Amino acid sequence: MSSRLLTLFGVFVLVFSGGAGAQPQSASIRGTVLDPSGAAAGKVAVRVINEGTNEVR
């Protein structure tokens, strides 16, 4: 492989790999909490647990 091609490949890798690790971590959850009869429950507290990190929100 010529040094010019190797240099071009190196520049390509540096330019296009910069944002690979900067992916934002965000998500959303949407739904309805129901009581045992199937009616919508009001004034409830909901906890969401990330099973990978055990983070609770």
Q: 7-56, pLDDT tens digit by residue?
A: 999 888 888 877 666 667 788 889 899 989 999 998 899 999 988 899 99
In whole angstroms, give the CA distance from residue 25 to residue 4.
38
- H helical segments located in the chain: 3-16
Residue with tokens 């965000």: 26
The pLDDT value given to residue 22: 67
Measured between alpha carbons, how far is 4 from 29 in angstroms, rounded to an integer?
A: 50
